[in-house]
Amino acid sequence: MHYPLELQFKFWALSPQLSVTDAHGSLVFYVKQKLFKLKESITVFGDAQQNNPLYSIKADRIIDFSASYNFTSSSGVPLGSVKRRGLRSLWKAQYDIFDGATVVMTIREKNPWVKVMDGLFSEIPIIGLFSGYVFNPAFVVMRSDGTIVMSLEKQPSFFSRKFTIKQLNQLSEQEEMQVLLSLLMMILLERSRG
């Protein structure tokens, strides 16, 4: 893949949908989240027409704060999972990326004060409309030894939600896919912020 990747939510869609494009503007993923499901179910497509399913992401339980989201290929091969770190994520968003039962990487929010300021700022009438332009969350993906391998940052915007994903260190093909699918799931879970 050609980094940086740009992730953008569809503004007018009823169900959450987003597209991921590479540095050349080519579509990498198109993600559509199903509405009104007790258990999260997300399909990652290779095209905007949603004819080419590449991956699926499914929760392991009905609506739960610390559910695990399992990734599988279109042929049903397990690729890993991501899980929010329960109550720790109330203050500072943190997710663990698993390969089987082993935590291989962690996604962490860089600055939890951005979430606090965004929440306060967005409650102010009229001025609160600009919170999406001023307060922009950022996340890093790191190995267990502390090496940062990727980053995700929200870009300033008034109405749409745009994010940039940058690769900062080498990853195997499987690790790269685990990280990207984890970031997609995390963004869908955290979309109400920023």
CATH code, 142:
2.40.160
Residue 129: the pLDDT is 63
What are the backbone dihedrals phi and psi of residue 120, each rounded to the nearest 5 degrees, phi first? Answer: -70, -45
What does the pLDDT read at residue 60?
86
Q: Is 35 helix (H, G, I), strand (E, B) or coil?
A: coil
Q: What pLDDT score does 15 carry?
A: 74
pLDDT for position 29: 97
The pLDDT assigned to 194 comes to 45
Average pLDDT score over the chain:
85
| Residue count (the chain) | 194
Low-confidence ranges of the chain (pLDDT < 50): 193-194
Residues 6+ apart with CB under 8 A from 47: 27, 30
Number of domains in the chain: 1
Domain limits at 111?
5-190
Q: Considering only CA atoms, which of 7, 14, 9, 12 is closest in space to residue 34?
A: 14
Torsion, CA 99, CA 102, CA 107, CA 108, rounded to 10: 180
DSSP-based three-state secondary structure for 27: strand
CA distance 8 to 25: 12
